[in-house]
């Protein structure tokens, strides 16, 4: 962005160079951000578009004609609604549990010096470095060896397991360089440790917790490999879609994808609006 700023600065002599640079710098940044968001959203736009397709056959790859068919009957394919519900349930529960466990570890690791830190770091780190297939296969071996039937519970266990590390890492990035003096100040003013935590520490790390939870949710709802190994007779949405490619992914899958996406966007927009109203009030 500096190069761009420099060029324009040269092309428009006579104006205060610094102001132009800063102005262009800002705009270049917005243009760049816009491009990045377009890049991120492009596949989703295609997905949404094809949710309005009326394919000739069972697969939904070539655009044919506009139709609301799939939208009017989104759960038409056998087993799709079960898969969606199972996926959402697993994602919610595993996100909550993993976020709590991971946040606790994150707090422990950044705020205390204790024996076994290095080992803890390693144990947090390794699951992220392990190929998914190995995680899935070794977990399955464990479940079988202790005679535990595979169902939604085993999927949950697996999802919480792989989510913990991601939560810890995200939380730690937030906590690194955390200004402890804020807490000390609160305690000096007579706040107890608990009060200090909830009134000072928690609000400060909350954005990190939220980011970690979002990451965990998205990892969970989209996981195929590990889920496939630990699922037993439960079918999650990614498993359904993966398997459906054999005959053709039904249009309804695009509809479900669009609904999940839309719900999440709606929730965020709503909370942003509410926040703004609060601030205005």
148 in contact with other proteins (CB under 8 A): no
Distance CA 27, CA 246 (A): 47
281 in contact with other proteins (CB under 8 A): no
Q: Find how far residue 64's CA is from the centre of its chain.
A: 33
Number of alpha carbons in the 13 Å side-chain half-sphere of residue 24? 19
Among residues 23, 30, 198, 202, the one that binds other proteins under rule CB under 8 A: 30
Q: Judge whether 240 and 81 are in contact, CB under 8 Å.
A: no
Could you say which DSSP state residue 66 is in? B
90 in contact with other proteins (CB under 8 A): no
Among residues 158, 186, 251, 255, the one that binds other proteins under rule CB under 8 A: 158
Residues binding other proteins: number (CB under 8 A): 140
12 in contact with other proteins (CB under 8 A): no
10 in contact with other proteins (CB under 8 A): no
Which candidate, 104, 135, 132, 136, places its Cα nearest to that of 120?
A: 104
Q: Which of residues 164-223 bind other proteins (CB under 8 A)?
A: 164-166, 168-170, 172-174, 176-178, 192-194, 204, 207-208, 211, 214-215, 217-219, 221-222
Question: Torsion over CA of 12, 14, 18 and 23, rounded to 10 degrees?
Answer: -40
Q: Which of residues 97-136 bind other proteins (CB under 8 A)?
A: 101-102, 104-105, 107-109, 111-112, 114, 117, 120-121, 123-135
Distance CA 176, CA 159 (A): 26
33 in contact with other proteins (CB under 8 A): yes
Give 12 or 36: the residue with its C-beta nearer to other proteins: 36
């Amino acid at each position: 962005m500096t190069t761009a700023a420099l060029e324009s600065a040269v092309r428009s002599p006579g104006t205060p160079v610094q102001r132009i640079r800063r102005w262009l710098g800002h705009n270049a940044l917005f243009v760049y951000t816009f491009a990045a968001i377009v890049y991120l959203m492009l596949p989703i736009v295609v997905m949404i578009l094809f949710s309005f397709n009326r394919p000739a056959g069972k697969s939904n790859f070539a655009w044919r004609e506009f139709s609301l068919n799939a939208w009017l009957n989104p759960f038409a394919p056998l087993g799709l609604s079960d898969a969606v519900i199972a996926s959402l349930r697993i994602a919610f529960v595993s996100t909550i549990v993993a976020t709590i466990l991971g946040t606790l570890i994150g707090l422990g690791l950044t705020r205390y010096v204790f024996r076994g830190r290095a080992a803890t770091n390693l144990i947090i780190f390794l699951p992220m470095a392990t190929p998914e297939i190995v995680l899935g296969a070794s977990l399955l071996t464990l479940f079988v060896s202790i005679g535990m039937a595979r169902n939604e519970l085993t999927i949950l266990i697996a999802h919480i397991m792989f989510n913990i590390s991601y939560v810890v890492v995200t939380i730690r990035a937030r906590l690194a360089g955390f200004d402890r003096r804020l807490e000390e100040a609160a305690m000096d003013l007579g706040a107890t440790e608990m009060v200090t935590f909830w009134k000072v520490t928690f609000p400060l790390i909350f954005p990190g917790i939220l980011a970690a939870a979002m990451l965990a949710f998205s990892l969970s709802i989209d996981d195929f490999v590990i889920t496939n190994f630990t699922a037993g007779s439960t079918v999650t949405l990614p498993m359904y879609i993966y398997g459906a490619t054999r005959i053709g992914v039904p249009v309804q899958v695009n509809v479900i994808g669009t609904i999940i996406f839309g719900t999440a966007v709606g929730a965020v927009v709503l909370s942003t609006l509410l926040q703004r109203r609060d601030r205005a009030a």
